[in-house]
Amino acid sequence: SPSLPPTEEMRQQRDHKLGYSLSVSYHRPLTVLRGSGSYLYDDRGRRFLDTVNNVAHVGHEHPRVVEAIQRQAAVLNTNSRYLHPTILELADELTNLLPDELSVVHFVNSGSEANELALRMAEAVTGTRRVLAMEMGYHGNTTRTIDVSSYKFGRRGGAGRPAETVLLPLPDQLRRRHLQPDWDTNDDAPRTFIAESILSCGGQLMLPPGYLDSVFKRVRAHGGITIADEVQTGLGRVGSHWWAFELQGVVPDIVTIGKPFGNGHPLAAVVCTTRVAEAFANGMEYFNTFGGNPVSCAAGLAVLTTLREEGLKQRAAEVGGYLTGLLNQLRANYPLIAEVRGAGLFLGFELTGKDLAPATAPASYLKNRMRELGFLMSTDGPHENVIKIKPPLCFTRAQAERLVDFLDRVLREDKMQIR
Ligand code: PMP
């Protein structure tokens, strides 16, 4: 567009007009103006393959979702204190994808709101704010969710671990550390356990088999409640199942769903058992002005319909399995890649040097170099040395091949050599 300010000018304006704690991706930031399928397009019309965006779940600007939002926005958008068929239909379709026990839906607008509400619900049952969470976990931007997010309280600018939060160390199967969930028996009081079932900020870490079962049993034995944060992992991304907690063969008391649910439109949910819903309904109303509005629900319904009609869960399994194979071939050629892990299209590979020392600088170089070549990738993990791959589920085999070809090219570059 001719009226568009140049990148550097926008960046400067953003630096003082928007919140000072908001960062921007890449050393050379991108101006992104359009999206379609697995691609984003910049201000010069340049195309980038997006391997990061787990929000554009069924594809950027999927026509079915766009049309559903447009159609409903033209007819009615208001709060959920009136009867409306769409909210009921969405609650039905969502609970159909979950175990029978998880039957009551509360609609909200973000993952943070969902986890905030889930923590309040758990407190209504347990009578305590004590929480067990994973090291490097992230569950949201509200005060209470930050209190259980060591990714925030335990790092720069954070106030440290609150007394009521107990942390489980990251189970690191590569280094064979902390493979059993272990916490101080003095802490065996009723408490809420909250975790993702594949640890995203922890660096796309798969939990060892039986890990969640073991935590759930002990937490429940002491009257506790379990929350599965499926904000990143949910809705078919892991391929073999609709939810990552199913990989561990457990059923949580509460599930939180966000990012992918509205394909970019703000829509999130807390789904719980009738026992939890009853304890929470103590007389104080939970009202949420935007939560469950007809436009958001139309977006959610379109997402669930698209997932079903395009067989995207199956596709996550197929293309994710194929991509994992290709990445493992790369690993065989480059000792820098210590491990490829994940499930479906929720993958990561860890870069390490001698004695499995985290290779942080090469990971950062790789991410920025891939962006120059037209691929959006992100890093994560306690040492930012894990490359995360979580593209829209419409990702194709051909795109997986192209991605790996270019990774191969960058891995051969001088800057990627460990000395
Ligand atoms: N839980 C997890 C696992 C997340 O990744 C995020 C967002 N990165 C949230 C919760 C918070 O979601 P939101 O940004 O929509 O509030």
| CATH number reported for the structural domain that contains residue 303 in this entry | 3.40.640.10
| In-domain check, residue 157 | yes
Which of 293, 309, 325 lies at the terminal end of a domain, its last residue? 309
User: How far lies 92's CA from each of 64, 147, 268, 330, in Å?
Assistant: 20, 32, 15, 43
Nearest CA to ligand 1 atom 10: 139
Answer yes or no: do 305 and 321 share one domain.
no
- Domain holding 15, by residue range, is 7-58+311-416
CB-ligand 1 contact for 115 (6 Å cutoff) = yes
Q: Which ligand 1 atom minimizes the distance to the CA of 141?
A: 16
CATH number for the domain spanning 16: value is: 3.90.1150.10
Asked if residue 380 and residue 258 are part of one domain, the reply reads: no
pLDDT at 408 over 90: yes
Q: Are residues 239 and 325 in the same domain?
A: no
Domain-embedded: residue 13: yes
β-strand partners of 389: 347
Q: Does 168 lie in the same domain as 54? A: no
Is 225 inside any structural domain? yes
SS3 content of the chain, % helix, strand, coil (to 5): 40, 20, 45
pLDDT at 419 over 70: no
Residue 315 has pLDDT above 90, yes or no: yes
Is 60 exceeded by the pLDDT of residue 205?
Answer: yes
| Whether residue 116 has its Cβ less than 6 Å from ligand 1 | no
Q: Domain check: are 72 and 154 in the same one?
A: yes
The reply to whether 2 falls in a domain is: no
Average pLDDT over residues 200-204: 97
Q: State whether 133 and 270 are in the same domain.
A: yes
Does residue 305 sit in the same domain as residue 346?
A: no
| Cα 234 from chain centroid (whole Å) | 8
- Between the CA of 258 and the centroid of ligand 1 the distance, in Å, is 7
**Which pLDDT score, from 0 to 100, does residue 2 have?**
58
Considering the domain architecture, whether residues 318 and 301 belong to the same structural domain is answered as no
Categorize the per-residue pLDDT at 7 as very low, low, confident or very high, splitting at 50, 70 and 90: confident
Q: Are residues 95 and 182 in the same domain?
A: yes
pLDDT digit string (tens) for 172-200? Answer: 999 999 999 988 877 778 799 999 999 99
- Answer yes or no: do 153 and 295 share one domain: yes
pLDDT digits (tens, 9 = 90+) for 88-110: 999 999 999 999 999 999 999 99
pLDDT in tens, 15-41: 899 999 988 888 788 999 999 999 999
Question: Does residue 198 contact residue 278 with C-beta atoms inside 8 Å?
Answer: no
CA–centroid distance, residue 150 to ligand 1 (Å): 13
3-state class of 349 per DSSP? strand
Q: Which of 318, 322, 362, 358 is nearest to 339 (CA)?
A: 358
Residues 151 and 212 grouped into a single domain: yes
Phi then psi for residue 75, to 5 deg, are -105, -55
Residue labelled with tokens 């409903």: 72
Residue 116 lies in a domain: yes
Query: Residue 98's beta-bridge partner residues?
Result: none
At residue 283, does pLDDT exceed 80? yes
Look at residues 309, 331, 365 and tell me which one is the last residue of a structural domain.
Answer: 309
User: Do residues 94 and 300 make contact, with C-beta atoms less than 8 angstroms apart?
Assistant: yes
Do 146 and 241 share a domain, yes or no? yes
In the reported structure, the alpha carbon of residue 83 is separated from the centroid of ligand 1 by a whole-number distance in angstroms of 29
pTM over 0.90: yes
What is the best residue among 139, 233, 256, 261 to mutate for testing ligand 1's pocket, by most ligand atoms within 8 Å of CB? Answer: 139
380 lines ligand 1 (CB under 6 A): no
1 assigned to some structural domain: no
- What CA–CA distances, in Å, run from 5 to 20, 183, 381? 21, 54, 35
Query: Which pLDDT belongs to residue 184?
Result: 84
Last residue of a domain, one of 268, 286, 309: 309
Number of domains in the chain: 2
Banded pLDDT at 46 (limits 50, 70, 90)? very high
Q: Which residues make beta-bridge pairs with 343?
A: 346
Q: Is residue 279 part of a domain?
A: yes
Please write the tens of the pLDDT for every residue from 114-148.
999 999 999 999 999 999 999 999 999 999 999 99
Residue 145 near ligand 1, beta carbon < 6 Å: no
